[in-house]
Amino acid sequence: EKGTYAHFMLKEIDEQPFVMRKIIQEYQDENDNIKLDPSIRAAMLDTDRVYIIAAGTSYNAGLVGKQIIEKLANVPVEVHIASEFSYNMPLLSEKPLFIFISQSGETADSRSVLVRIKELGHRSITVTNVPGSTLSREADHTLHLYAGPEIAVASTKAYTAQIAVLTILAVDTAKAKGMTLDFDPLQELGIVSSVMESLTDQKDVFEQIAKDLFANTRNAFFIGRGADYFVVQEASLKLKEISYIQAEGFAGGELKHGTIALIEEGTPVIAISTQENVNYSIRGNVQEVAARGAKTCVVSIEGLDQASDAFVLPHVHELLTPLVSVVPMQLLAYYAALHRDCDVDKPRNLAKSVTVE
């Protein structure tokens, strides 16, 4: 039940700090080590390449997960859109391991890939929020999200739960390989949880930004580089699916290769900048679009902050910034839809679980 909340989406955005804590609890043993099914660990150790298969928001979480797994565990990862994979199957490595990411565990596009790769004799893990779902039953192993039921069509807490669980998988693999990490991942997820809470406590700030940016607009652009590029793709998906504002997420460096032609007086451009190595370049992009009349808004992070930024996120570990930078994006989408009188929890033309190909 949504209790005092006007919409499930807002309730689910607010639940994210608790979901992070629940995940820490479920994946931690009495000695504060990671607790994971040993057969999943063995599968990760035995593969030469992971293939993540997913759709929509789960695909966007996979993009973040790829970076985390590659950086922490040094295992190559490819991320594929489920509906494309079947007829555009890449050359597979010698020992592929498939990870299906699916909140519902029922997405038909993902299932058809699972059926296909099982026929080929490959191993699989499903990362899902629904124990007993089709993808969970049919894969060799399951990693649970522990996010609690997600009712709003627009996925929010499942996205952050997916990234957190993939982080735990990456850390476990790194440790099993004898690699040493220079940070305590479970503690860092705890910090993420607190930061998320501070963000959901400032809804009025994001409501105002949404009003300023989206009141009379037909389109909007999100830009980012590095890990922020993955988050802007999710930001644009959220905005378009519930507010019906045409939105795109771009890599900052791609603007000059075409997209900048779309910028007019008043076009909203939202930039995320949480990565030190690209901070300078993304700010250059913001200046370029501002010079062409765009209404700009920068969400940055402590340490990189500049006086003119719309919002400065508290510091979290650099690999985990998507877990926190996505929260303002979810809230911007929510308030944009709310102020346009859209049906936030049940956007037109969409179903929560897509069981047809």
Catalytic residues: 352
* Enclosing H/E stretch for 239: helix 227-243
Which of 172, 241, 309, 345 contacts ligand F6R by CB under 6 A?
Answer: 241
Q: 148: buried, middle or exposed (CB in 10 Å: 19+, 13-18, 0-12)?
A: middle
Show the site string, 101-120: x = touches ligand F6R by CB under 6 A, - = not: -xxx--x--x----------
DSSP per-residue codes, 173-196: HHHHTT---SS-HHHHHHHHHHHH
Show the site string, 221-240: x = touches ligand F6R by CB under 6 A, - = not: ----------------x---
Compare residues 237 and 270 and give the one whose CB is closer to ligand F6R. 237
Compare residues 233 and 300 and give the one whose CB is closer to ligand F6R. 233
Q: For residue 89, give the 3-state DSSP assignment.
A: coil
Compare residues 136 and 155 and give the one whose CB is closer to ligand F6R. 155
Half-sphere exposure of 184 (CA within 13 A, CB side): 8
Compare residues 56 and 185 and give the one whose CB is closer to ligand F6R. 56
Length, in residues, of the chain: 357
Which of 47, 57, 124, 142 contacts ligand F6R by CB under 6 A?
Answer: 57
Interface with ligand F6R includes 297 (CB under 6 A)?
Answer: no
Query: Could you tell me how many residues of this chain bind ligand F6R (CB under 6 A)?
Result: 15
Phi–psi pair at 296, nearest 5 degrees: -105, 155
Judge contact between 222 and 273, C-beta under 8 A: no
Which of 16, 58, 126, 325 contacts ligand F6R by CB under 6 A?
Answer: 58
Minimum distance from residue 103 beta carbon to ligand F6R (Å):
4
Using CA atoms, how far residue 320 sits from 31, 137, 209, in Å, is 23, 30, 24
Binding site for ligand F6R (CB under 6 A): 55-58, 102-104, 107, 110, 154-155, 237, 241, 353-354
